[in-house]
Amino acid sequence: MAVKVFEDWLNACSGCEISILNIGDALLDILPQLEFVHITPLIDHKLFGQTGEGTPPAMDIPEAVVGIITGGIRNDEYKHELEEVRKKVKFLIALGSCACYGGIPAMANMWKIDEVFEKVYRGCVTTEPSPTPEDPNIPKWTPLCQALDEIVKVDISIPGCPPHPDWIADAITALLEGKTEWKLPERSVCDTCPTPREKKSLTGTVKRPLENLTFNPDEPLDKMRCINEQGFLCLGPVTLAGCAGKTGVPRCIQARTACRGCFGPIRKGAVPMVDMMGAMTSIGLDAKTLVDRRAMMNRYIGAHGMLKPIPAK
């Protein structure tokens, strides 16, 4: 029998859902095993009744075995929906780095809400300066962009921006088999990266990626020197592995570009910025020469208080 699934995107970009659709030929085998009771991009299930007669905020959220939520919490309606979904599902999966850590939109946590809206509605060159939108039919921003586990209990976290379909299929299969826990193996991106390391930086100071890495395009990655050792910031040492699925080489490295940490910390409670500064020091790379250090090292993980407004000097 098909397993009932409730899926919705909150403060998100839809990349997680596209990642699911990119599973490939296996998608047609998986689809019949899942019965989506709600998934905005694919099924016309409505939260306020199929003929629109419901009264917001009371949402019609069907019961399901698995709830999959992508995106973080940025307004009071997302928060309400998440709390309601939690009551209606047996297992809640936080899918993607926005749901797990706030993601890119949590960079907004470096400012107060008023400062963000001041820019968006009164500080953009083509925008006619106007009051911030406010209406019963649009939700209010919450003070912070939060991860799901700051609001409700999350059973399974599948990070990534986007997460790899291997892990989505793996986690759902585990639930179908009756397991109640699932998590990605605790390995770093470096553990899965083929570039050779000599534990010594070639530069001492951090170079900005204003030029390409040094490599021979005819040679595989195991002939290209470690990116940090070339002097460019790569968050591989402090980032959870898995972006290329169970076996692949880290995706950004495949493109001959550095990791920016989209899978988040290797283990719960780690502070990547501190750990990364240690990793840099250990190869003789001066972390103080990195521009925009705080935002660079917390790009995808600004929830959980990792990014906050800077106190006025």
Partner 1 sequence: MGKTLTIQPVTRIEGHARVVIQLDDAGNVADTKFHVHTSRGFEKFCEGRPAEEMPRIVCHICGICPWAHSSASVKATDAVFGVTPPPAAVKLRRLMQAIAYVSDKILNFYFLAAPDFVIGPDADYSVRNVVGIVKAAPDIAKQVVHMRYLGAQMLESVAGRAIHPTFNVPGGVSKPLTEAERQELLKGARELLEFAKFTMKFAKENVFPKYMDAIKTLGVIKVGYMGTVAPDGSLDFYDGKIRLMRPDGSYDDFAYDEYTDHIAEKVMPWSYQKFPYAKKWGGFSMDLDNPVGIYRSNTLARINVADKMKTPLAQAELVEFRNNFGRPAHYTLLYHYARLIEMLQNAEEAIQLLEDPEITSRDIRVKCEPRAARGVGCVEAPRGTLIHDYETDKDGMIKNVNLIVGTTHNTAAISMSIRQAASMLIKGGKYDQGILNMVEMAIRPYDP
Three-class secondary structure of residue 36 per DSSP: strand
Stretch that binds partner 1, among 28-36, 172-180, 185-193, 196-204 (CB under 8 A): 28-36
Q: Are 102 and 302 in contact (CB under 8 A)?
A: yes
Give me the least distance between CB of 19 and partner 1, in Å please: 6
Give me the least distance between CB of 130 and partner 1, in Å please: 4
222 forms part of the interface with partner 1 (CB under 8 A): no
Binding partner 1 (rule: CB under 8 A), the pick from 3, 75, 88, 191 is 75
Hunting for tokens 């963000």 — which residue is that? 116
Stretch that binds partner 1, among 40-48, 148-156, 173-181, 271-279 (CB under 8 A): 40-48
Long-range residue pairs from 85-90, CB within 8 A, at least 24 positions apart, any chain: 85/6, 85/8, 85/61, 86/152, 86/153, 88/6, 88/61, 88/62, 88/63, 88/64, 89/6, 89/63, 89/64, 89/65, 90/64, 90/65, 90/66
Q: Are 158 and 168 in contact (CB under 8 A)?
A: yes
Give me the least distance between CB of 136 and partner 1, in Å please: 9
Determine phi and psi for 21, rounding to 5 degrees.
-70, -20
Please say which residue, 243 or 283, places its beta carbon nearer to partner 1.
Answer: 243
- CA–CA separation, 277 and 286 (whole Å): 8
Binding partner 1 (rule: CB under 8 A), the pick from 33, 43, 181, 268 is 43
Please say which residue, 16 or 68, places its beta carbon nearer to partner 1.
Answer: 16
Stretch that binds partner 1, among 121-129, 180-188, 197-205, 269-277 (CB under 8 A): 121-129
Q: Are 141 and 73 in contact (CB under 8 A)?
A: no
Binding partner 1 (rule: CB under 8 A), the pick from 143, 178, 210, 311 is 210
Binding partner 1 (rule: CB under 8 A), the pick from 33, 42, 83, 220 is 42
Please say which residue, 60 or 181, places its beta carbon nearer to partner 1.
Answer: 60
54 forms part of the interface with partner 1 (CB under 8 A): yes
Binding partner 1 (rule: CB under 8 A), the pick from 292, 311, 312, 313 is 292
For residue 288, what are its two tokens? 């103080």
- CA–CA separation, 103 and 108 (whole Å): 10
295 forms part of the interface with partner 1 (CB under 8 A): yes
Residues 166-205 touching partner 1, rule: CB under 8 A, are none
Neighbours of 135 (CB within 10 A): 7
Please say which residue, 86 or 299, places its beta carbon nearer to partner 1.
Answer: 299
Give me the least distance between CB of 166 and partner 1, in Å please: 13
Residues 258-277 touching partner 1, rule: CB under 8 A, are 260, 262
Q: Are 252 and 289 in contact (CB under 8 A)?
A: no
- CA–CA separation, 206 and 225 (whole Å): 15
